[in-house]
Chain A
Amino acid sequence: MSPQRKRRATGALQRLPIWMTGIALGTSLLMIIGLIGLIMARGLGTFWPAPLWEITLKDGKSYLGLVHHVEAIPHQADAQGRPVRRTLYRIGNRELYGADFVWVNHADIVSRQRPADTVSIERLEWGPFYGFLAEVNTPAQMARGDSRLLWQSLRREIPVAHRRARKIRHMEKSVIGNINYSIESHRLALRKLQLRKPASAGSMEPERRRHEDAIAALQARYETIAQELQHLRAEDGAYQVVLKDIGGKARELPISSLVRVHRPNQLSFPGRVAVYASRLQEFVFGQPREANSEGGVAPAIFGTVMMTLIMSLAVMPLGVLAALYLHEYAKQGAIVSIVRIAVNNLAGVPSIVFGVFGLGFFCYLIGGTIDQLFFPERLPTPTFGGGAILWASLTLALLTVPVVIVSTEEALAAVPNGVREASLACGATKFQTIWRVVLPAAIPGILTGTILAMARGAGEVAPLMITGVVKLAPDLPVDHFAPFVHLDRKFMHLGFHIYDVGFQSPNVEASKAMVYMTTLLLLGIVVCLNLTAMQIRGRLREQFRGAEV
């Protein structure tokens, strides 16, 4: 061995422990890249329309479905010692088969093909339907036979049917909703009258009469609208489509209940892109369907954003005030150091503890008191005395206030003392100095803190679960009824959506796709917020490095 090679060999051996530490870093890096990659791969792929396979098995059974998952059966091997593989097909048609999925062993398959005229139908109930068109029935015509013609007439009818469905939904939600809301508010007013002192009972009589009359009138209006609605529904019921599954079983559906139809085995590439875009659009802007396992997450996005906004509205002034006091006004000494450590500590207190505090303090103590003082007529149904978006936001504000305090203090400390002294020397008061000189310089730091707080808040779930998040909120916290913003309402949240759909859903396998997309969305929001905060912080540091010179 030449001396040179020998030296190189010992050099390499000397680096062995270093490489060991490198492995640790590499593994950490791979973990995070792998996780994000996994979520992206599973999430982004779910909306892409996949081909529908018709499979015939040895025992004569045949299925029509999408390939969901392929695996080798553990601890099994065929005669040649190769692993036995099987595929999980999503066969849909839950009302016909009971289950959405079926495992098929590769060894059992006789034939596998992609019939051109299959349709994939997403509908309001029972999950997707995979099969063939048999009839399209409208009051004007009854089409059957040729699949191409059927397809065309179905495509023609769907937008019309959706228009009818929208009208019905408008009647149900807005018109009847308004009436119900008015009746409810009159009822509450009546109850409020009852709760007042009986001494003035006589003087309240006309008012009482007025409310009762109003309720009667509203109820009468409700009756007429209900009749009209019934008429509309009957009319809508006349438009039907008949579908057949692979085994020839027929299923009749109202056309207005179809959400999206396509023929996956005939789609061109732009067609696939269009289906993907349409699904993505429904996901972001649509309402959830089927116990949250299909449709969109718009209310959850809305709830998350609104909660985060209320939280940052609360956390920014609070955090800045506390930091200003700690850094500019308080006499620096042992007590302030202790307070600083305590605030720092608070950032490490588990979020669930804040949740418990929020439930006990905000919901039950403060909310309960508000209810007794201002909403006695609604008791025992709580108004503010239960979970509410306001309490959830305040709980998270408390949870994240240390982040803002710490980063604001950092920013205040980074403002050179010379600048302060210059301002004071020019005759400015302390507050003027802070307001005009120190705070403007510290704004990037404050922003960083707030954005970090928002990122932490948007990703937290545990404290929200007990202070106001629900799996399905009937109403958004903002609507057209006065006072328009209802901070006492419960709300939906992306993070809780993941927990709920991923773990509590009756059909976990079918809803996985939705969860991956929701995860991706939440991850996107949180990572973006964090990256923004890092950017601002980085720029801030550079700025002050410049200022100090």
Chain B
Amino acid sequence: MSTTVVESPLPTAERSRPLGGTARAFRRRTQIIDRIARSLISVSGIGIICAVLGIGVFLIAEILPLFSGATLHPGLVQSALPPGEPPQLVLVDEHQEKALVIGTSALVRTVSLDGAEPPQVFSLDGLQGHRITAASRTLREETVALGTDQGRVWIGTVALRTLFDGSQRRVQPSVSTDSVFDATPGYRITRLAYRATGTHRVIAAVADDRHLIVTRIRVQRPLVGPARQVVESVRVPTGELGTPSALLVSEDGLQILLGTAKGILARWRLPEEGAPQLLEASPAVSGGSLTAMDYLLGARSVVVGGSDGGVATWSLVRDEERPDGWRLARIHTFAAHPERVTVIAPSPRDKGFITASLDGTARLHYMTSERTLAHFMAGRHPVAADMAPKTNGAVVLSEDGLLRHWHIENPHPDISWRGLFGKTWYEGYAGPEYIWQSTGGTDDFESKYSLIPLIFGTLKGTVYALLFAVPLALFGALYCSQFLDKRWRNPIKSTVELMAALPSVVLGFIAGVVIAPLVQSHVVAVLAMPAIVPLVTLGGILASHALPWAQAKTFARRNEFWVLTAWVVVGIVVAGGLGPLIERIGFQGDFESWLTGAAGLLYDQRNSLVVGWAMGFAVIPVIFTVCEDAFSSVPRHLVGASLACGASSWQTAWRVVLPAAGSGVFSAIMIGFGRAVGETMIVLMATGNTPVMDWSLFNGFRALSANIAVEIPEAPHGGTLYRVLFVAALLLYAMTSVVNTAAELIRLRLRRQLQGL
């Protein structure tokens, strides 16, 4: 396939003859045209073929970004606090212009992340003379709680807000005090957790590394008089669990999660009245202490970091044996840090989080996909960190007061090979499962992209279609090529081939709108047809052989097919008539309720039975044509020899023709398989499109192809769903390519074999 132009010498006879000027010019022109045409055709031919074959390459190129992980672009490293002041809290704004930093003194400082603006300082009311020793912050909320060395708790707003004057964007810190009170007077607060719910506020504080004190503040509004704050404090006995080392209050304010120095993760219930109740305590870190803990977005999972550097997420899982019906379970584990985990910063947008360890190693993880997307160095002894609200950046503050900033590019954190093709344990589920659910109603909904239910659906549809189509097409082709009267062969072949031209949207419409209700009302008859129709037909044709006019041999042979077909019609009518009878005798008169009662299956109107039938239309002509070709190309002398040896025509067909064309039949079935796998409109219209995973004949499924058709119009360009649908497309491409290539190779071998005979 060379594209270079080769100088072709003129024939010697012509070269020797003198040529006139015009003739020479004409010849030159012709040759130039020939060369141009040659290169043009070669280039465009190769181009077209490459373009056509490039489809797979393009699909792969669109998929690759899914697995590329995250990239971090380091920003400035700057000192955010005066030397010697250990940091407590850091937060960053949406546009990553500024960060707010709180150290031990009662001051909030802003740091311009690009170093362009001088720092601003705001003081916190009510904390004069106190040293801040603990801080707590809730995702997506602007409220911050601070605890001091004298047991005072400060609650207020600390946030960065974006303001617009005209087209100018300005990030403005907002600091205001909400309330200040003494929670553990005289004791230093070492850990603090805070949560505000609709009716009350809950503050959990660890005093002097020993006592866990829970304070609940309720605002009572009596009918007359001013509103009154009711403050209740209760001490939670942590006893033998170990020194409290990490603390969280649940979203509803009714539970406390506590990590201890013995590595235990404990959960308490805080009843409205009375003492806290220990619900469970399980070892979370073996042989070490639990050093850091935080809720992920949605506050249903916690990330737990230990002194051994281990990182894991725990979620509440249904467990009826437990007192409150729930149990904390470790559901995802991540690569461990070399030293103890000191900081956990959850993402405010998804289930991602950053962990950092004493030695300065920091990692970006994603819970559900169990992926660690990036490794980076955050400076020795990181103390506080925050992820930007759009998850496209992070800041980490280390013990020495240095603030490090990164821009993060992390387009598809929730996708992993395991997530696409394996079981994933999602929040709120009892165990790992295969789930496809790309959109949901709530804000913190997590898309679930397991392709397994869709692949299952595709295979289910294909299997039922082939179960229906292969016997009909294969035996139909055998009859057509071996036994059918020659006069009818071509028209019948063409008619069956015409079936291939039926647009699949037409088949889908008929299947979904006409056949599905019809099958529903005659389901027993339909199921009985494969038995009744052949019986009636065979009986009928035997009976018609006894008739005197059928005994003229020529008539019988010539019109046998039409007599057969007529009896098939009779058989179908008989089956339709017997259906209700069978239903009354065998299924108490109502098949659907029998199905639900006896087999526990639900009957969907648009089910696999209907799809199998409709896809049969698409598959039968494909298999029929290839099979018929294979049968017809079996050399006549083989057949002749077999018949001459005394074999009957059926014996010849079954023992000689079928084996000789065996690989052709196999390749036909594979081509049919390829067609059924990719069929879109029929499965889209004739199934309920629910991604269930069971083999029941009486419910639907969701196939890869239909799923693409349904979801890609809603998928934003370049987004995760968009790319996952490209994975589905590539899967279909690969499946059909492999099957079709195999079929083609087998067919070529068959041809060679038969030529050898």
Residues of A within 8 A of B (CB): 8, 12, 14-33, 35, 38-39, 74-75, 318, 321-322, 324-326, 328-331, 335-336, 339, 341-346, 348-357, 359-361, 364, 398, 401-402, 427, 429-432, 434-435, 455-456, 458-462, 465-466, 495-496, 498-499, 502-503, 508, 512, 515, 519, 522-523, 526-527, 530-531, 534
Contacts and interface: CB of A to CB of B under 8 A. Distances in A.
A82 B362 CA distance: 79
Interface stretch (B41-49, B223-231, B370-378, B432-440): B41-49
A252 B624 CA distance: 60
A526 B501 contact: yes
A325 B650 contact: no
Interface string B565-592: 1001100100000000000000001100
9 contacts: A19-B538, A24-B475, A75-B589, A322-B52, A326-B49, A352-B678, A357-B55, A357-B729, A432-B30
Interface in B13-58: 14, 30-31, 33-34, 37-38, 41-42, 44-46, 48-49, 51-53, 55, 58
A19 B541 contact: yes
Contacts of A435: 37
Contacts of B551: 8
Interface in B157-201: none
B509 A462 contact: no
A461 B503 contact: yes
Nearest to A345: B740
Contacts of A19: 537-538, 541, 560, 564
Given A31-B617, A345-B741, A526 B502 contact: yes
A353 B1 contact: no
Nearest to B483: A18
B658 to A, nearest CB: 11
B512 A502 contact: yes
Contact of B729 (A25, A352, A455): A352
B732 A353 contact: yes
Interface of B is mostly: helix
A35 B740 contact: no
Contacts of B680: 350-352, 461-462
Contacts of A534: 494
B744 interface: yes
B521 interface: yes
A12 B589 CA distance: 39
A318 B512 contact: no
Given A357-B729, A527-B501, A352 B708 contact: yes
Contacts of A434: 37
B648 interface: yes
A512 B495 CA distance: 27
B564 A26 contact: yes
A321 B617 contact: no
B725 interface: yes
Nearest to A322: B48
B45 A401 contact: no
A35 B510 contact: yes
B420 interface: no
Interface residues of B, number: 110
Contact of B42 (A17, A325, A401): A325
B512 A324 contact: no
B293 to A, nearest CB: 43
B139 interface: no
B633 to A, nearest CB: 16
B405 interface: no
B456 interface: no
B505 A459 contact: yes
Contacts of A502: 509, 512-513, 685
Given A321-B44, A321-B45, A22 B564 contact: yes
Interface in B613-655: 616-617, 620, 624, 648-650, 653-654
A522 B590 contact: no
B736 interface: yes
Interface stretch (B234-242, B247-255, B299-307, B669-677): B669-677
Contacts of B538: 16, 19-20
Contacts of A35: 502, 507, 510, 617
Contacts of B737: 345, 348-349
B87 interface: no
Contact of B53 (A29, A342, A461): A342
Contacts of B569: 30
Contacts of B480: 25
B294 interface: no
Interface stretch (B314-322, B340-348, B382-390, B709-717): B709-717
Contact of A462 (B58, B534, B541, B709): B709
A348 B671 contact: yes
Chain A CB within 10 Å — which of B44, B476, B649 has the most? B476
